[in-house]
Amino acid sequence: MDRFRMIFQYFQSNSESVMNGICGLLALASVKMYTCFDFSCPCLPRYNMAYGLGIIFVPPVALFLCGLILNRQSLLMLEEWRRPQGRRKKDLAVIRYLCSSIMQRAMVAPVVWIIVTLLDGKCLICALSDSVDPKKFVGFANSSPVQVQQLLAKVPCKDDELMRNNTSRKAVSRYLRCWSQALGWSILLILIVAVFLARWLRPCFNQAALLQARHWSNYIDIEQKIFEETCCEHSRLFAHKCILHFFESMQEEIKLRSFSLPREGEEAEREEDLLQGITDQDRVNKLLKTWYYEKPALDISLATQR
Amino acid sequence: MDKFRMIFQFLQSNQESFMNGICGIMALASAQMYSAFDFNCPCLPRYNLAYGLGILLVPPLILFLLGFVLNNNVSMLAEEWRRPQGQRGKDPAVLRYMFCSMAQRAMIAPVVWVSVTLLDGKCITCAFCTAVPVETLGNASHPDLSQEEMKLVLARIPCKEIYDGQELIANEVAIRYLRCISQALGWCFVLLMTTLAFLVRSLRPCFTQAAFLKSRYWSHYIDIERKLFDETCTEHARSFAKVCIQQFFEGMSTDLAATRCHLPSKAPADAGEAAEKLLGITDRGTMNTALKSWHRCKPPLHLHPPALPTGNGWAGEGQPPVQPPVPRREMAAYYSRV
């Protein structure tokens, strides 16, 4: 039992830290991906906007989905939501708690990507360069509209032959970068303030319900892990007995000396106990089906009274 | 056996994390391979497409197959698929589960290769440079050039040093255009793959959870049973060898009747223990028959004490064993001669 207690404590303390760790790793991976990514604005009138906005918004969606996939709790939440009621009622507060915790963790990497993108500025310069008002900039005020569009679209490409020494290009670039960085810092500030307020004001609203929801969501997590552990243990014993019986049946047929189980007495009894009378395939299947369709009631007082 | 129990639990709980680790290492190896690979576009009209698409598609196939090769469970799946039915029926759901979990892990490295290739852009630039829309991006009004000659010029776009079509279409413009298309394709591919993975993972609890629990249990069971059988055989082989050698030395000492040849002095209690571990199988013929029988006719999944199998296989209750016990009659005949 000591071993089980140690395992419980390990799982309890580490479930949250494992998920926080994964969240942090995804955020770092997001920054690394951005720095490795070779941003290459097409510098063509309509393509710029599509490319720039695509780079700002598509990778965050992929990162968000990755965050959901890598989080163990999302499976737990879905299983709890979709299971048949059986003898255990469903608590919507627990499901809501799990959902919000999953969403919060999954949002970190996409937000990091968006902020890094905005602070760097290349994406917004690419996306909005041909939407800038040409009258504000000296070099572009005197050309025809079509030419202006073409020229503005080439602003993000420093090495283009038309733009190489164009000072107006640098002006547009600086202007857009300034907006981009202002937007980036504002978003960061708003988010930090929102998170700060949420954390400080949460205890003022319904703390008791929150404690309950958190307890039962931890419970579901641990219960799932222990069920898997117990199944492993059971299948190991099952296999052990099966193999021994196999060798036994071989011997009985060739009628050699009588076979005695290598271990009798206490240890064999303990193993029988652990198998709990579930000794064939149909019973195992029934056990697994019942576990899913009719989870036991959260009431162990009857078991302890026995 | 306590030591074995701990090792099995470790392996079982870490089997998944071990396979995930291999999966991650292959994905990193795939990205590293791409950056180490010296991409060399041929810059000739038809060769470009073949080279570019080849680099995009052939290494992922190799990585996918490698993913299967490196997975320990492939032989387990093959064994379970091809074994004779014997007293234990076969469950296709378990086979499907094993195959799906292996295929999902093997898919990761190829997906990483394709994503990195598309996001880098060199492959698509090489493959599709002859398809650049010259009318919109450059000056299509070059009357001197025929279709073939234009293709020849465009094919040299990836090779900046030998490109001679600057009046037709600027090299940087074409490369930027192709790279933009390639990166857009790359990000769409990444998004598609992540969405697929998310759907696969989240639809399972909604629809097939009970069947999933069953398949997962039995596939783990098959794995553990195989390992335990190997362990039991190893222990048996050890005891067999011990007893065999003891008998040899005993035989030697009685033959020579010499005091010089001392037995490796094992007490009778030890000999008894080793003999017990032999589980009654004491010669090669019997061991061979046991191993053959293990493959041909796996025992039913039913642990009640009566040794005679009652024939409860995978397929359901009340089904008689498919194979009549012909091999056993052969064994009895063999032994009656001894």
Residue range B105-119, pLDDT digits in tens:
999 999 999 999 999
Q: Indicate whether B9 pLDDT > 70.
A: no
Long-range contacts of B77-86 (CB under 8 A, 24+ apart): B77/B102, B79/B226, B80/B222, B83/B295, B83/B296, B83/B298, B84/B295, B84/B296, B84/B297, B84/B323, B85/B313, B85/B322, B85/B323, B86/B296, B86/B297, B86/B298, B86/B299, B86/B321, B86/B322, B86/B323
List, for chain A, all residue ranges whose pLDDT scores fall below the cut of 70.
1, 4-5, 7-14, 250-279, 294-306
Which of A80, A95, A154, A254 best tests the B interface by mutation, with the highest count of B CBs <10 A? A254
Portion 279-338 of B in contact with A at CB < 8 A: 279-282, 286, 289-290, 293-294, 299-304, 307-309, 312, 314, 317, 328, 331-332, 335
Which of 184-213 (B) contact A at CB < 8 A? 184, 187-188, 190-191, 194-195, 197-198, 201-202, 205-206, 209-210, 213
CB atoms A256 and B303 under 8 Å: no
Nearest to A239 among B221, B281, B312 (CB): B221
Q: How much is the pLDDT for A14?
A: 66
pLDDT at B304 over 80: no
Reported as a single tens digit per residue, the pLDDT across A260-299 is 444 445 655 665 555 656 667 777 777 777 777 766 665 5
Mutate to test the interface with A, among B105, B189, B209, B297 (most CBs of A within 10 A): B209
Answer whether A242 sits within 8 Å of B299, measured CB to CB.
Answer: yes
The chain B residue lying nearest A50, using CA atoms, is: B184
Which residues of chain B does A50 touch, with a Cβ-Cβ cutoff of 8 Å?
184
Contacts of A86 in chain B (CB under 8 A): none
Rounded to the nearest angstrom, the minimum Cα separation between B221 and chain A is 6
ipTM score of the complex?
A: 0.79
Cross-chain CB nearest to B280 (options A51, A256, A282): A256
Q: Is the pLDDT of residue B223 over 90?
A: no
Q: How far is A239 from chain B (nearest CA, A)?
A: 5
Give residue-wise pLDDT tens across range A178-211. Answer: 999 999 999 999 999 999 998 888 888 888 888 9
Task: pLDDT band for B276, please (50, 70, 90 cuts).
Answer: low
Least confident of A209-218, B70-79, B227-236, B316-325: B316-325
**Chain A contact probe: residue of B1, B16, B185, B217 with most A CBs at under 10 A:** B217
The residue whose two tokens read 């009566």 is B306
Percent of chain B with pLDDT over 90: 27
Q: Is B62 on the interface with A (CB under 8 A)?
A: no
Do the Cβ atoms of B172 and A37 come within 8 Å? no
The minimum CA-CA distance between A251 and chain B, rounded to whole Å, is 6
The percent of residues in chain B predicted with pLDDT above 70, rounded, is 75
Cα distances from B140 to residues A44, A45, B132, B308, in angstroms, run 17, 19, 11, 86
Q: Is B121 left (phi over 0), alpha (psi -120 to 50) or beta?
A: left
Return d(Cα B56, Cα B50) in angstroms, integer: 10
Q: Which residues in A lie closer than 8 A to residue B210 (C-beta atoms)?
A: 288-289, 292-293
End-to-end CA distance of chain B: 35
Instruction: Determine contact, residues A60/B194, Cβ cutoff 8 Å.
Output: no
* Per-residue model confidence (pLDDT) at position A174: 92
pLDDT exceeds cutoff 50 at B322: no
